[in-house]
Amino acid sequence: MVGMIEVRELTKRYGATTAVDGLTFTVRPGRVTGFLGPNGAGKSTTLRMVLGLHAPTSGAVTVDGRRFADRPRGLRHVGALLDAADVHGGRTARAHLAVLARSNRIPVARVDAVLEEVGLGAAARRRIGGFSLGMRQRLGIAGALLGDPPVLLFDEPLNGLDPEGVRWVRELFGRLAGEGRTVFVSSHLMSEMEHTADDLVVVGRGRLIAEESLAEFAARGARPSVAVGTPDPGVLAPLLLASGAEVVSEEGRLTVTGLSAARIGELAAEHRVVLDQLTTRRASLEEAFMELTAESADYTAGGAR
Ligand SMILES: Nc1ncnc2c1ncn2[C@@H]1O[C@H](COP(=O)(O)OP(=O)(O)OP(=O)(O)O)[C@@H](O)[C@H]1O
């Protein structure tokens, strides 16, 4: 499949720090894949290894079965936005992209095309030093698109964008994937990926936590809880515990997991306990993500790091 990124047993150590720890996953073309994990999870390091900017300590990463470093004119194969701040502020947007185009033997005509595409046409001859973070992100995205590549990597591209910019990026990613390209996007916020990604690769402390579609992740989700209000929490709570529920009591309100609202209602009725609230609360994807990554942090605490 053209544009497939394959990461196999990838490990990167910096001295005593294991930034990436035996990662294995596949990123497919025609999809937007979110690369999710808390700060320091190893996302940037992994993206840099995909691009051959850092050498793995062990393991391998290939695009279409070949290492990126083995490809001349790399930007035509893989376009990337790694760090929007990492540009020469004294250059104009046009000059910055023209340098990139020349060094990758990309026709300079592409420069104006991508500047238009990212909405920077009017700012093409302005110096980057005066750009807002959002404009720099757009410029970085323009650089990634320059070589019209089948594979695109974006490290935290939504940082610094206003809501209109975020909507634009989402549409752009969807369109690029719709054209059959591989779009791999990192973020530390599930809320950013929730309406952006088709697939997810979730990492914590350099290790893989989940690799599945967003729909699968959402279906698995965090367990729903039930908010229960009663004038007799001291009577109801032990009944719920005896039925296998987990119960947190706070100011007369009970938060119950492990039993359905229907079952809680039945138990209350059987024991003549009055209820004044019985509400099922589904956890957001963000909460499910936090739960998932918190578990990984516990798992690795005291581990190899
Ligand atoms: N060049 C380096 N030298 C030493 N340690 C590094 C280096 N680069 C990254 N690390 C460490 O590796 C770990 C993973 O960092 P990385 O930047 O890849 O994570 P991340 O998931 O991209 O997080 P963030 O969103 O904060 O950038 C961190 O503990 C970081 O401090």
Q: Is the CB of 188 under 6 A from ligand 1?
A: yes
Domains 5-219 and 225-281 share a fold: no
Residue whose CA lies nearest to ligand 1 atom number 4: 14
Residues of the chain with pLDDT under 70: 1, 72-73, 221-222, 295-305
Structure tokens at 80: 């990337």
How is the chain split into domains, by residue range? Answer: 5-219, 225-281
Looking at residue 236, its pLDDT comes to 95
Task: Work out which ligand 1 atom sits closest to the CA atom of 18.
Answer: 12
- CA gap 59, 190 in Å, rounded: 28
Looking at residue 251, its pLDDT comes to 80
Looking at residue 281, its pLDDT comes to 85
CATH code of the domain made up of 225-281: 3.30.70
Residue whose CA lies nearest to ligand 1 atom number 25: 39
Using CA atoms, how far residue 264 sits from 250, 252, 281, in Å, is: 17, 16, 14
Q: Is the CB of 53 under 6 A from ligand 1?
A: no
Q: Is the CB of 38 under 6 A from ligand 1?
A: no
Under 8 Å CB-to-CB from 241, ≥6 apart: which residues?
Answer: 247
Distance in Å, CA 22 to ligand 1 centroid: 15
Residue whose CA lies nearest to ligand 1 atom number 1: 14
Looking at residue 300, its pLDDT comes to 45
Looking at residue 222, its pLDDT comes to 66
Q: Is the CB of 14 under 6 A from ligand 1?
A: yes
Rg of the chain in Å (alpha carbons)? 24
ipTM: 0.93
Q: Is the CB of 41 under 6 A from ligand 1?
A: yes
Which residue do the tokens 């294991």 mark? 18
Q: Is the CB of 301 under 6 A from ligand 1?
A: no
For the chain, the distance separating the N- and C-terminal CA atoms, rounded to the nearest angstrom, is: 36
- CA gap 83, 85 in Å, rounded: 5
Q: Is the CB of 44 under 6 A from ligand 1?
A: yes
- CA gap 296, 184 in Å, rounded: 22
Distance in Å, CA 39 to ligand 1 centroid: 8
pLDDT, one tens digit per residue, over 177-204 is: 999 999 999 999 888 898 899 999 999 9
Residue whose CA lies nearest to ligand 1 atom number 16: 42
pTM: 0.81
Task: Work out which ligand 1 atom sits closest to the CA atom of 54.
Answer: 1
Q: Is the CB of 55 under 6 A from ligand 1?
A: no
Task: Work out which ligand 1 atom sits closest to the CA atom of 48.
Answer: 18
Please name the helix (run of DSSP H) or strand (run of DSSP E) that holds residue 115, with its range, or none.
helix 109-117
Looking at residue 297, its pLDDT comes to 56
- CA gap 174, 163 in Å, rounded: 17
Please name the CATH architecture into which domain 5-219 falls. Answer: 3-Layer(aba) Sandwich (3.40)
Distance in Å, CA 205 to ligand 1 centroid: 10
- CA gap 187, 232 in Å, rounded: 45
Distance in Å, CA 264 to ligand 1 centroid: 46
Query: In 10 A of CB 186, how many CB atoms?
Result: 25
Looking at residue 169, its pLDDT comes to 94
Q: Is the CB of 157 under 6 A from ligand 1?
A: no
Looking at residue 298, its pLDDT comes to 47
Looking at residue 154, its pLDDT comes to 96
pLDDT, one tens digit per residue, over 127-149 is: 999 998 889 999 999 999 999 99
Under 8 Å CB-to-CB from 9, ≥6 apart: which residues?
Answer: 22, 23, 24, 58, 59, 60
Q: Is the CB of 16 under 6 A from ligand 1?
A: no
Residue whose CA lies nearest to ligand 1 atom number 17: 44
